[in-house]
């Protein structure tokens, strides 16, 4: 997915200064962002209160939307740099095309992992015909400096490992959870997992005390460390935890995101993660002139133009503000 926010302003994120070393329970409210004419997403990261969780730098939750009589998701070709995108669906399907030649339909609880490295472009659309409901999350992982110029590539994994406990099936999307390792390529220590809880479930999820974590609710009524987390909101949990109490009052769908605090300071703007304002300006210019980011073939429509880069000096603001 693209950041279609027309008021995109550059933000500096990362750095260790604002990581909460202790367990905390910090409820993050979503910002509602209009994507195109009919789709509204709830943006959890970056958030007014917090910009990153480990290397996770962007989290949008969308749906469930009834798209039976609508085109559904239609995101024209747009560029990415310095990050990985994770497409995660609970309902529906998304057809992915990219400039490395990928053409892949991603279905519920399958991993669509695109590593932009130095430059990639892609489009995402609801296939025709498509299922009635569309419900998912779009997430970005910032690449550390040592790996951010890797060759762009796309991975699709339909068969991901699971961790189970009474009332819980956890699907490991990225990284490792309780000994189960996702086949998706990662470039920094992190974890992403889908937590499917059944009504009445009460369990403890093992965590790594060196990671910071957050839990996004996608559906149902769940309590995370005793805090009710409603669909479309996210609970930041800090570091220093060895386990996480979960309870479900109805069937519930959560996403666990975590990782080693991301120590590098990054500059995020539109669909780019860089290290300086100049680098972002260059990437924008390269997209506008049709260089570096390649071509997406087969999408029925034009490319997405970059928004204007506001003439503001970047002020490092750290992981929270
Ligand atoms: Mn995208």
pLDDT digits (tens, 9 = 90+) for 98-116: 999 999 999 999 999 999 9
- Residues 231, 251: Cα–Cα separation, whole Å: 12
- Here the tokens at position 102 are 């990928």
Average pLDDT over residues 23-40: 86
Residue 13 or 229, more confident: 229
**233 pLDDT above the threshold of 80:** yes
**Stretch 123-135: mean pLDDT, rounded?**
96
How far apart are the CA of 75 and the centre of ligand 1, in A?
8
Q: How far is the CA of 3 from the centre of ligand 1 (A)?
A: 7
- The CB-side HSE value for 267 (13 A sphere, CA atoms) comes to 16
Task: Report, as an integer, the average pLDDT of 42-61.
Answer: 94
CATH no. for 11-259: 2.60.120.10
CA of 1 to the centre of ligand 1 (A): 4
The answer to whether residue 317 scores a pLDDT higher than 60 is no
Residue 238 CA to ligand 1 center (angstroms) comes to 28
Give me ligand 1 centre to Cα 139, in Å. 9
Percent residues over pLDDT 90 in the chain:
87
Q: Provide the pLDDT for residue 311.
A: 77
Cα-trace Rg, the chain: 18
Give the Å distance between the CA of 80 and the centre of ligand 1: 7
Q: With bands split at pLDDT 50, 70 and 90, how would you rate the model's confidence at 316?
A: very low
Distance 141 CA to ligand 1 centre (A): 12
Q: What is the mean pLDDT of residues 259-280?
A: 95
pTM: 0.94
- Residue 87 alpha carbon to ligand 1 centre in Å: 9
Ligand 1 geometric centre to CA of 226 (Å): 34
Q: How many angstroms is it from 306 CA to the middle of ligand 1? A: 12
* C-alpha 271 to ligand 1 mean position (Å): 7
> For residue 96, how far is its CA from the centre of ligand 1 (angstroms)?
10
Mean pLDDT, the chain, whole residue set: 93
Average pLDDT over residues 163-192: 98
What is the model's pLDDT at position 36?
66
Mean pLDDT of 276-293: 96
Residue range 57-66: average pLDDT? 96
Quickly state the pLDDT bin for 3 (edges 50, 70, 90): confident
CB 134 within 8 A of CB 62: yes
Are 161 and 292 in contact by the 8 Å Cβ rule? The answer is no
**Within 13 Å, how many C-alpha atoms sit on residue 177's CB side?**
28
Q: In the structure, what pLDDT confidence band is assigned to residue 9 with cuts at 50, 70 and 90?
A: low
User: DSSP readout, 172-239?
Assistant: EEEEEETTEE-SS--SSSEEEEEEEE-TT-EEEEE--TTSEEEEEEEES-EEETTEEE-TT-EEEEES
Q: How far apart are CA 161 and CA 241, in angstroms?
A: 23
Cα 230 to ligand 1 centre (Å): 26
Residue 321: predicted pLDDT: 43
79 Cα–ligand 1 center, Å: 7
The per-residue pLDDT for 157 is 98
Residues 173 and 141: beta-carbon distance below 8 Å:
no
pLDDT band at 10 (very low <50, low <70, confident <90, very high): low
Mean pLDDT of the region 117-135: 97
Residue 237 CA to residue 233 CA, distance in Å, equals 13
The whole-number average pLDDT for the span 53-58 is: 97
């Amino acid at each position: 997915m693209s950041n279609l926010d027309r008021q995109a302003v550059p933000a500096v994120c990362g750095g260790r200064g604002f990581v909460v070393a202790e367990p905390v329970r910090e409820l993050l409210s979503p910002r509602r962002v209009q994507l195109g004419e009919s789709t509204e997403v709830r943006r959890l990261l970056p958030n007014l209160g917090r910009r990153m969780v480990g290397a996770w730098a962007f989290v949008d939750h969308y749906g469930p939307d009834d798209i039976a009589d609508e085109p559904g998701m239609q995101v024209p070709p747009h560029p990415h740099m310095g990050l990985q995108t994770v497409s995660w669906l609970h309902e529906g399907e998304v057809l992915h095309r990219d400039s490395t030649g990928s053409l892949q339909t991603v279905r519920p609880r399958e991993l669509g992992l695109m590593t932009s490295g130095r430059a990639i472009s892609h489009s995402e659309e609801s296939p025709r015909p498509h299922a009635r409901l569309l419900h998912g999350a779009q997430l970005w992982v910032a690449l550390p400096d040592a790996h951010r110029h890797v060759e762009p590539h796309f991975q699709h994994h339909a068969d991901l490992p699971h961790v189970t406990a009474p009332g819980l099936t956890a699907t490991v999307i990225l990284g490792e959870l309780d000994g189960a390792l996702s086949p998706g390529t990662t470039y920094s220590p992190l974890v992403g997992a889908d937590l499917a809880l059944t009504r009445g479930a009460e369990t403890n999820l093992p965590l790594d005390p060196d990671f910071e974590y957050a839990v996004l609710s996608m559906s149902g009524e769940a309590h995370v460390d005793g805090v009710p987390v409603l669909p479309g909101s996210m609970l930041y949990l800090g570091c220093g935890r060895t386990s996480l109490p979960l309870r479900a009052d109805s069937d519930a769908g959560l996403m666990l995101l975590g990782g080693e605090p991301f120590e590098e300071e990054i500059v995020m703007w539109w669909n780019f993660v860089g290290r300086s304002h100049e680098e972002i300006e260059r990437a924008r210019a390269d997209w506008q002139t049709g260089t570096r980011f390649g071509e997406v073939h087969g999408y029925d429509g034009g490319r997405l133009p970059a928004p204007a880069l506001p003439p503001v000096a970047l002020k490092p603001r750290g992981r929270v503000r």
